[in-house]
Structures are given as C-alpha cells and as structure tokens.
Chains A and B, each alone.
Chain A
Amino acid sequence: DAKTTQPPSMDCAEGRAANLPCNHSTISGNEYVYWYRQIHSQGPQYIIHGLKNNETNEMASLIITEDRKSSTLILPHATLRDTAVYYCIVNSGGSNYKLTFGKGTLLTVNP
C-alpha cells in the first residue's frame, strides 16, 4: 500500500471549516483513500473513503486531486467534538484489505 504524509497538527476555530491535507504521491490505480479519526481514549472511527471522485457524507467531504497524488478531508463546520487525530490511509481492498495507520494529524478545534 502507498505511504501517506500528513501534517502532525492543525488548529481550527469552532464553526469554521477544517481542511486536512494528505499526500499520497505513490498511490496506484486500484488504491482507495480512507479517512479515520480517533478521539482521545476511543477506538478509531471511519469517516469516508473514495477512489477518484469527490465524496460527501453526513460527516465530511473528501476531495481527491485529479492526479490522485493528494487529497483533502473537509469538515464543513468544525465543533469542539471534532478534536481528534485524523488518519489518512491508502488501501487496495479485496483480500488485501487492511488498514495501515501512520501518525495522523491532531486537529484541535478551538472555541
């Protein structure tokens, strides 16, 4: 699976959009981009995933660049409860489906 690079930390004001970047320049054609987050002392929680089209669900939006070498997770209106470590993961799925976590980005939402 391709390696991902994320900033170690970011800050965001409550109510504003949080934009979390991820670089995955070695991604291959059959690999998806997944985002999970982990609130302190809890297990990771799935947010969203996509292949090449932008995706949106009730939690977030995922924007993948046309060359698929990077992506951005957008939390449109961040709340204090969105403070967490956010992990960007690239995975090819199928029988090799397994999640390889990096260190992620600690997003701190400030009042």
Chain B
Amino acid sequence: EAEVAQSPRYKITEKSQAVAFWCDPISGHATLYWYRQILGQGPELLVQFQDESVVDDSQLPKDRFSAERLKGVDSTLKIQPAELGDSAMYLCASSFPGGHTEAFFGQGTRLTVV
C-alpha cells in the first residue's frame, strides 16, 4: 500500500540551529500539507501546496519557517533558527486535489529542541 514517507523520524537539535524535514507524498497526489502537532493538541496546518504552489501558509511563522515543493512532488520544511517552542511532531499529508477526498498522513518527524 502506498504511503507518505517522512524523514527523519526523530531529530534533536540545539536552539538557534537550522533543521529540515523531508516528505515524499503518495504518487499522483497533487495536494501536500505540513502540520505541526504539539503534545496533547490536535495537528495544526502550517502550509498547503497544490502542485508546486502554496495555497495556504497563513499559519506558517514566516520569520523562521520556510517550505518548498520545487517540482511539485516531494517537499522540504525548514526551521532556521530553531527555538525551544518548536519542539513538536511535524506531520506531512497528501491527497488528490479538490473535492471530498481523504488525506494520507506520514508517520511524522518528532523534533526536540534543546
């Protein structure tokens, strides 16, 4: 069964350092999402792509976070510089565009900033 691949699964970084997460969506899924999940809360949407274009980044802290999906396939989320409050699970999901369709989530990257 096709899966959304994310790497790394776990990342420990020192505050003020740069960190990057990678996501490979299910083949054919034009829509890609990055979510952040703080312990005890539901996932919060950071950015949504349609192919290579950003369609929603209203909740992305743009002073330190950036996301790209250059060829409309895999995607990278970067944090620079990392802060203690960025410690969370970062989830990637993908789906077919539009309509009412299910989103498939990856296993996530657990980030700890020390």
Q: Hey, which bits of chain A sit against chain B, CB under 8 A?
A: 32, 42-46, 49, 85, 87, 91, 93-95, 97-104
CB within 8 Å: A-B pair count: 56
A45-B56 Cα distance, complex, nearest whole Å: 22
| Contacts A43-B91, A43-B93, A43-B108; A94 near B43 (Cβ below 8 A) | no
> Chain A's nearest CB lies how many Å from the CB of B107?
6
> Chain B's nearest CB lies how many Å from the CB of A36?
8
A residues within 8 A CB of B55?
A: 95
Contact-residue bracket for chain B: 20 to 34
List 7 additional contacts besides A49-B100, A98-B45; criterion CB under 8 Å.
A42-B107, A43-B4, A43-B91, A43-B93, A44-B91, A93-B99, A101-B44
B residues within 8 A CB of A97?
A: 31, 95, 98-101
A42-B40 Cα distance, complex, nearest whole Å: 13
Q: Hey, which bits of chain B sit against chain A, CB under 8 A?
A: 4, 31, 33, 35, 40-45, 48, 55-56, 91, 93, 95, 98-108
A residues within 8 A CB of B43?
A: 44, 99, 101
With most chain A CB atoms within 10 A of its CB, the pick from B4, B40, B42, B95 is: B42
A46-B45 Cα distance, complex, nearest whole Å: 16
Closest to B96 in A: A97
A45-B40 Cα distance, complex, nearest whole Å: 17
| Contacts A43-B91, A43-B93; A103 near B56 (Cβ below 8 A) | no
A93-B40 Cα distance, complex, nearest whole Å: 27
A residues within 8 A CB of B91?
A: 43-44
Closest to B41 in A: A103
Query: Which one, B4, B98, B107, contacts A95 given CB within 8 A?
Result: B98
7 closest A-B pairs by CB? A43-B105, A101-B42, A46-B102, A93-B100, A101-B43, A44-B105, A43-B91
> Chain B's nearest CB lies how many Å from the CB of A78?
22
30 contacts between A and B (CB under 8 A): A32-B100, A43-B93, A43-B105, A43-B106, A43-B107, A43-B108, A44-B103, A44-B105, A46-B102, A46-B103, A46-B104, A49-B100, A93-B98, A93-B99, A93-B100, A94-B99, A95-B98, A97-B95, A97-B98, A97-B99, A97-B100, A97-B101, A98-B48, A99-B33, A99-B93, A100-B45, A101-B42, A102-B42, A103-B42, A104-B42
